[in-house]
Amino acid sequence: MEDIDLNNGVPMPRLGFGVWQVADDEAEKAVTTALECGYRSIDTARLYQNEEGVGRALRASGIPREELFVTTKLWNDQQGYDEALRAFDGSTRRLGLETVDLFLIHWPSPKQNRYVETWRALEKLYADGRVRAIGVSNFTVDTMERLLAETGVVPALNQIELHPQLAQRELREFHARHGIATEAWSPLGQGRGLLDLPVLAEIGGRYGKTAAQVVLRWHLQLGNVVIPKSVTPSRIRENIEVFDFELSAEDMAAIDALDAGRRLGPDPATFG
């Protein structure tokens, strides 16, 4: 597995396993399969209600803790300084871990206007060595600029909705200017429609790869961290077999051309 170095030098696998909308027991099974296939990075959240199942799979795998990279996130009702510290305690307890590798604010929730104080709690957890890196999710240029202006630690990463039909060029450029990694959620466009586009099958056919593998490879070549989700063992394996081919510049451009500003999730400027 290839890593990227986060802005504090902590290495993070460029491809991880997402478990949104996977029930606790099923998450345990899916994470077990993913670890067997070679995934080492797992993306969960308090919202997903499967931190316990993820934790059971991690422990049962016998893989040394230092070889695993675990991300979790605090939910919108856990914003605020004290609330965020408590959120972290709850997540680590459910995961059965003392530390997590990456802790994220799930949504900026600008209406609540508490993300700056929430971030200060994450800075405290980081200073105390309870988390190896801290970051955000669904932050816009506006909310990110305010965080950078008013707080001390630059987020290691922003996890945002990103797939060929929502390529997020402006945010990716902003991240690059500030040394913030870009992590793509719903990297496969949730499988809805995107993977059926003929151009992806046509490109894949020339490399002996599926549409999903072509899309994941496009992300990797842009420099994105990706966390595809599946509960189907054959797809879990398929989604990690993307490090043995390289898309040409022409094929990258053909996938870039699919950008339609098509959001699948809520608008982070108003959500929460």
Q: Using the rule CB under 6 A, is 50 a contact of ligand NAD?
A: no
Cβ-based nearer residue to ligand NAD, 92 or 138: 138
> Minimum distance between the CB of residue 105 and ligand NAD, rounded to whole angstroms?
10
With b for 16 or more beta-carbon neighbours within 10 A and e for fewer, the 128-163 pattern comes to: eebbbbbbbbbbbeebbebbeeebebebbbbbbbbb
166-225 binders of ligand NAD (CB under 6 A): 185-191, 195, 212
114-143 binders of ligand NAD (CB under 6 A): 137-138
For this structure, is 81 an active site residue? no
> Minimum distance between the CB of residue 139 and ligand NAD, rounded to whole angstroms?
10
Q: Name the one range near ligand NAD by CB under 6 A: 78-86, 92-100, 197-205, 231-239.
A: 231-239
- The CB density around residue 127, as the number of other CB atoms within 10 Å, is 12
Residues that bind ligand NAD (rule: CB under 6 A) add up to a total of: 25
Q: Using the rule CB under 6 A, is 28 a contact of ligand NAD?
A: no
Cβ-based nearer residue to ligand NAD, 149 or 215: 215
> Minimum distance between the CB of residue 118 and ligand NAD, rounded to whole angstroms?
15
Give the CA count within 13 Å in the CB-facing half-sphere of 70: 32
- For residues 89 and 150, what is the distance between their CA atoms, to the nearest angstrom? 25
x/- contact string, 140-169, with ligand NAD (CB under 6 A)? -------------------x----------
Among 48, 115, 126, 207, the active-site one is 48
Phi, psi of 218 (to 5 degrees): -60, -45
> Minimum distance between the CB of residue 4 and ligand NAD, rounded to whole angstroms?
17
67-96 binders of ligand NAD (CB under 6 A): none
- For residues 1 and 185, what is the distance between their CA atoms, to the nearest angstrom? 19
Asked whether the beta carbons of 220 and 226 are under 8 A apart, the reply is: yes
Residue indicated by tokens 């990103």: 162
The CA distances from residue 92 to 47, 82, 97, 156, 208, in Å, are: 14, 16, 5, 20, 41
Cβ-based nearer residue to ligand NAD, 79 or 159: 159
Q: Name the one range near ligand NAD by CB under 6 A: 27-35, 61-69, 87-95, 227-235.
A: 227-235
Q: Among all residues, which ones are annotated catalytic?
A: 48
- Site for ligand NAD, rule CB under 6 A: 18-20, 43, 106, 137-138, 159, 185-191, 195, 212, 227-230, 235, 238-239, 265
